[in-house]
Structure 1
Amino acid sequence: METILLIAVIAAFLIWRMKPAKGVNTMTTAQLKAVLNDKDKVFVDVRTPAEYKARNVKQFKNIPLGSDFSKLPKDKEIVVICQSGMRSKQACNQLKKLGYEKVTNVRGGMSAY
């Protein structure tokens, strides 16, 4: 009985952890290309430095997932990309929890770019 309860608690925690934060926007790579020169946006690539070095979009600053995002400006929209969209989704959730209001995830990431 304790094992079932423990599994249920772990499952609930994982579902809660993966749930997207309210207010995270998404954009396609086509939409991204149209806004790459927008000075009111900060572009963040959360892939590893090696992935970033191998292929990147020059407007994106490499800040790997797990880094301190609190130095980013809160008055601009933060656009986040990774390889497939999963790590950037996690980063967007972290940014929302840090109080960032304008956060956008690039769907499909660099694989779709």
Structure 2
Amino acid sequence: MFSLFKRVPSMSTADLQKEGAKEWTVLDVRTPAEYRSGHIAYAKNVPLNKVAGFTQKGDKKLAVICQSGMRSKQAAKILSKKGFDVVNVRGGMNQWRGTTKGGK
């Protein structure tokens, strides 16, 4: 019964910044407008409403981020159910202290 409520692991923005693109494929699940306003340089924009259709080449682990951590938590649960090795980034872009990139 408890396996139905499997918790998705999480990590801090500081941990993501340390490990970076070498270890993770970062999915930014905010809207395209939010993404354009500033995002992690190596993040891919896959809005929450498109996450169910996400496919990935390779075997990097997924780190999912949004503005505050709520949408990314939902996305991480969806991706986990699809069999991906995924973590939620706690605090989202609100807590990100690294550099960001604007535009596409």
TM-score class, shorter-chain normalisation, is 0.7 to 0.9
Q: Which residue of 1 aligns with 2:19?
A: 35
Structure 2, unmatched stretches of 5+, are 97-104
37, 50, 53: which is aligned to 2:33?
Answer: 50
- Pairing 1:103–2:67 present: no
The answer (yes or no) to whether the contact 1:43–1:79 under 8 Å persists in 2 is yes
How far off its partner does 1:37 sit?
A: 2.9
Distance 1:31 1:81, change over 3 A: same
- Pairing 1:63–2:46 present: yes
Distance 1:23 1:69, change over 3 A: farther
* Distance in structure 1 (CA, Å) of the matches to 2:78 and 2:57: 14
Structure 1, unmatched stretches of 5+, are 1-19
Cα deviation per residue 1:9-65 (whole Å; 9 max; x = unaligned)? xxxxxxxxxxx9525221111111101131x42110000000000011111000000
How far off its partner does 1:72 sit?
A: 2.0
- Aligned-partner residue type, residue 90 of structure 2: R
* Distance in structure 1 (CA, Å) of the matches to 2:18 and 2:53: 25
Structure with the larger RCO, 1 or 2 (CA within 8 Å, 6+ apart): 2
Structure of larger gyration radius: 1
Q: What's the % identity of the aligned pairs?
A: 46
TM-score normalised by L of structure 2:
0.79
The answer (yes or no) to whether the contact 1:92–1:105 under 8 Å persists in 2 is yes
* Distance in structure 2 (CA, Å) of the matches to 1:93 and 1:71: 15
